[in-house]
Amino acid sequence: MADLDFLHGGNIYELKGKDRKKIIDFSANINPLGLPAGLKEAIYKNFDRILHYPDYKATDITKKIAKCWGIDEENVLLGNGSVELIYLIISFLRPKTAFVPVPTFSEYERAARGIKSRIEFLKLKEKEGFKLDLSSIGKTDILFLCNPNNPTGNLIAEDGKRIEALSNKLVVVDEAFMDFLPEQKNYTLIWKAVKSKKLIVLRTLTKFFALPGLRVGYLIAHKKIIDKLRQYQAPWGTNSLAQLAAGLILNDKVYIKKTRKLIGKERKYLSKQLAAIVGLKPYPSVANFLLLKIERPGLSSKSLQRLLLEKGILIRDCANFRNLNDKYIRVAVRSHKENLQLLAALKEVL
């Protein structure tokens, strides 16, 4: 795949400057509530932190993350977003072989291709709800699992014991969207990762806490894995303001509860309304976005994206996801008002 094929949603910078403020961005899966209360003011008050280097070890936020999950600090490693950590893992392991179920987040493949790994792909079947058959996973140096999966929105694997027992040398489970599940503790593999020498869990604050521009991610793994990864990680992986923000919002129970309530309610509403539109088929999701199939003949994802953009709506064209095509789009779950605007625009163009 060419570099062009690894483009992501949320790239508003490609739009003309005068149009950006008018666009409702359904292409990026970011919390519609925006920044947690008080965060903007806290950043303003501590703006002079940029005059100094950030904490090399990100000590404060590392302690808070560890406390949040009831694990040791030695099991946590901060990064400049979870994507940086994906590339760090690849740099450390330098796998000759990699296994990636598709469709999924493209940076696993891109990172592995960067060191010329041989990649095996397992096509998740639409008729099976894009579920993952763990018995179909081949033995490779590294396996990437996105759970809940992007762009399908489902939990592709729910049996933690079977995941841990897989024969791959290292299993990386990306839980970027796990925070949106009220019952996430039943599905996260964090507590297995701290004990296993072959399992890494990736988490991010980008999606749930609406911080894509600050880039804060972390991974949880066995202490020996963390120690090795530190040797490969560039210094000052997270900036001062990112560390400050992460420390302030991680345990914001009001924001967390409000987010889960909003996303749960609006996802259910949006899915039902989209299913009623002739020519669209939404798939079940537990995350803050929905994958849709365009069933109208002659209409492609690119064409639909263009038509909606003319109405101030930006959606994610999923044609560049491996194992999907130009009949698939993805839309974020946003506020009720914005979701109504999306539905109205879709009804007009369809």
Q: Note the maximum CA span of the chain.
A: 57
Q: Is 38 left (phi over 0), alpha (psi -120 to 50) or beta?
A: left
Host H or E run for residue 267: helix 253-275
pTM, 2 dp: 0.93
Host H or E run for residue 78: strand 76-79
**Tens digits of residue pLDDT in 297-324:** 999 999 999 999 999 999 999 999 999 9
Q: Which two tokens stand for residue 258?
A: 């409000």
pLDDT score of 190: 97
What secondary structure, in 3-state letters, does 12-51 show?
A: HHHCCHHHHCCCEECCCCCCCCCCCCCHHHHHHHCHHHHH
**Tens digits of residue pLDDT in 112-143:** 999 999 999 999 999 999 999 999 998 999 99
**Sequence-distant (≥ 6) Cβ neighbours of residue 191 within 8 angstroms:** 69, 71
Q: Which domains does the chain have, with CATH numbers?
A: 3-30+253-349 (3.90.1150.10), 39-249 (3.40.640.10)
Give the pLDDT band (50/70/90) at residue 57: confident
Phi and psi dihedrals of 312, rounded to 5? 85, 20
Residue 136, CA distances (Å) to 187, 251, 294 in order: 21, 38, 29
